[in-house]
Structure 1
Amino acid sequence: MDVDECAENACGANSECSNTPGSYYCICLDGYIASSGLTWEDGVTVCTSSDEFLASLNPPESVTAVLGTTVSVTDNISPGDGKEQQANTANMVLRISEGLASALVEPSSLENNRTVTTPTIGSASAVLLSVSGVDKFMSPSFFESENVTEIYSDIITATLPKTKHKELPEPVNFTVYHKKKFQAGLVTCVYWKEQGEETRWSVDGCTASFSNENYTVCSCTHLSTFALLLQTEEQEEDSSLLEAVNLFCMSVGLAFLALAILTFLLCTWNPKINNTARLHLSICLFLGHLLFLVGVSRTENAVACAVIAGMLHFLFLSSFVWMLLETLQLFMLVRSLSKVQVIQKEGLRALYLLLVGYGAPLVVVGVSAAVYSDGYGSKDACWLQNEKNFRWSFIGPVAAILTLNLVSFCVVIWNLLPTLANMKSDVSQSRDTRLIIFKIVAQFLILGCTWILGFFQRTFVLKYLFVILNSQQGTFIFIVHCLLNKEVREQYRRWLSCLCRTEGPSGSRPKENNMKHSGNTAS
Structure 2
Amino acid sequence: MVFNASGKILESSSSSSSVSQAELASYGNRILKANEKLISTLVKPTDTNDSVSFTLAAIEAEVFMVGRNVTLDKIPRLDTTNSSVDIDLIGIAKNNNETRSAAVAFMSYNTMENLLKPDFFNTPNATIKTMMSTVISATLPKTTNTKLTKPVNFTLKHIREFEPSGSLSCVYWNISEWIVDGCSVLETNINYTVCSCVHLSTFALIMQTSRPSESDSLLELLNMVCVPVGLVFFSLALLTFALCQWSPGVNNVARINLCISLLCAHLLFLLTQEFLSLIRPRQVLCAVISGVLHFLFLSGFVWMFIEAVLLFIRVKNLSQISSKKWEALNSGFLCVIGYMVALVVVGVSTAVDPKGYGSEQCWIKMDEGFIWSFLGPVCVILALNMILFIIIIINLILTLKNLNAEVSQMKRTKIMTFKTLAQFVVLGCSWILGFFTNDIEELEILFLILNSQQGTFIFLVYCVLNDEVRQQYRKFFRCLCCGLKPNTIKKR
TM tier relative to shorter chain: 0.5 to 0.7
CA–CA distance in structure 2, aligned partners of residues 115 and 351 of structure 1: 68
CA–CA distance in structure 1, aligned partners of residues 254 and 75 of structure 2: 71
| TM, length-normalised to structure 2 | 0.63
Which residue of structure 2 lines up, in the alignment, with residue 278 of structure 1?
255
- Say which one has the larger Rg: 1
Which residue of structure 2 lines up, in the alignment, with residue 52 of structure 1?
none
1:411 aligns with 2:391: yes
CA–CA distance in structure 1, aligned partners of residues 458 and 197 of structure 2: 61
Which residue of structure 2 lines up, in the alignment, with residue 323 of structure 1?
304
Query: In the alignment, residue 443 of structure 1 is paired with which amino acid?
Result: Q
1:217 aligns with 2:197: no
1:349 aligns with 2:283: no
Q: Which moved more, 1:473-482 or 1:460-469?
A: 460-469
Structure 1 residue 449 displacement after superposition: 5.2
Which residue of structure 2 lines up, in the alignment, with residue 332 of structure 1?
313
1:229–1:301 distance in 2 versus 1, CA, 3 Å:
closer
Which residue of structure 1 lines up, in the alignment, with residue 84 of structure 2?
none
Which residue of structure 1 lines up, in the alignment, with residue 86 of structure 2?
none
Contact 1:153 1:229 in 2 (8 A): yes
CA–CA distance in structure 2, aligned partners of residues 261 and 91 of structure 1: 59
1:489 to 466, 470, 473: 470
1:450–1:88 distance in 2 versus 1, CA, 3 Å:
same
1:267–1:363 distance in 2 versus 1, CA, 3 Å:
closer
1:206 aligns with 2:140: no
Q: Deviations over 1:256-293 (max 9, x none)?
A: 33332343345465776543432333344445555666
CA–CA distance in structure 2, aligned partners of residues 107 and 173 of structure 1: 22
2:171 alignment partner, SS class: strand
2:455 to 467, 474, 481: 474
1:258 to 215, 220, 235: 235
Query: In the alignment, residue 85 of structure 1 is paired with which amino acid?
Result: S
Contact 1:73 1:132 in 2 (8 A): no
CA–CA distance in structure 2, aligned partners of residues 422 and 353 of structure 1: 34
CA–CA distance in structure 2, aligned partners of residues 375 and 173 of structure 1: 27
Contact 1:375 1:390 in 2 (8 A): no
Contact 2:472 2:491 in 1 (8 A): no
1:323 alignment partner, SS class: helix
Q: Deviations over 1:215-264 (max 9, x none)?
A: 2233x363444321134555899999999976765554344333323433
| TM, length-normalised to structure 1 | 0.60
CA–CA distance in structure 1, aligned partners of residues 246 and 390 of structure 2: 28
Which residue of structure 2 lines up, in the alignment, with residue 448 of structure 1?
428
1:153 alignment partner, SS class: coil
CA–CA distance in structure 2, aligned partners of residues 421 and 128 of structure 1: 85
Size of the aligned set, in residue pairs, is 429
* Identical-pair percentage: 36
CA–CA distance in structure 2, aligned partners of residues 157 and 305 of structure 1: 30
Structure 1 residue 396 displacement after superposition: 3.8
1:97–1:139 distance in 2 versus 1, CA, 3 Å:
farther
Write out aligned runs for 1:277-296 (5 A).
Answer: 277-289=254-266
Query: In the alignment, residue 423 of structure 2 is paired with which amino acid?
Result: Q
1:130 alignment partner, SS class: strand
1:108 aligns with 2:68: yes
Query: In the alignment, residue 260 of structure 1 is paired with which amino acid?
Result: A
2:420 alignment partner, SS class: helix
CA–CA distance in structure 1, aligned partners of residues 168 and 394 of structure 2: 52
1:130 aligns with 2:106: yes
1:182 aligns with 2:158: no
Contact 2:291 2:346 in 1 (8 A): no
RMSD of aligned residue pairs (Cα, Å): 5.6
Structure 1 residue 199 displacement after superposition: 4.9
Contact 1:151 1:227 in 2 (8 A): yes
Write out aligned runs for 1:495-510 (5 A).
Answer: 495-500=476-481, 502-503=482-483
1:497–1:487 distance in 2 versus 1, CA, 3 Å:
same
Q: Which moved more, 1:411-420 or 1:231-240?
A: 231-240
1:210–1:449 distance in 2 versus 1, CA, 3 Å:
farther
Query: In the alignment, residue 259 of structure 1 is paired with which amino acid?
Result: L
Query: Unaligned regions of 5+ residues in structure 1, if any?
Result: 1-63, 66-71, 117-121, 504-508
Q: Which moved more, 1:249-258 or 1:232-241?
A: 232-241
Query: Unaligned regions of 5+ residues in structure 2, if any?
Result: 46-64, 77-89, 94-101
2:178 alignment partner, SS class: strand
1:144 to 112, 122, 134: 122
Contact 1:320 1:398 in 2 (8 A): yes
Q: Deviations over 1:54-101 (max 9, x none)?
A: xxxxxxxxxx99xxxxxx888389454626635754785698699999
Structure 1 residue 206 displacement after superposition: 0.9
2:122 alignment partner, SS class: coil
Structure 1 residue 470 displacement after superposition: 4.5
Structure 1 residue 324 displacement after superposition: 1.0
2:418 to 438, 442, 446: 438
Contact 1:188 1:208 in 2 (8 A): no
CA–CA distance in structure 2, aligned partners of residues 303 and 156 of structure 1: 25
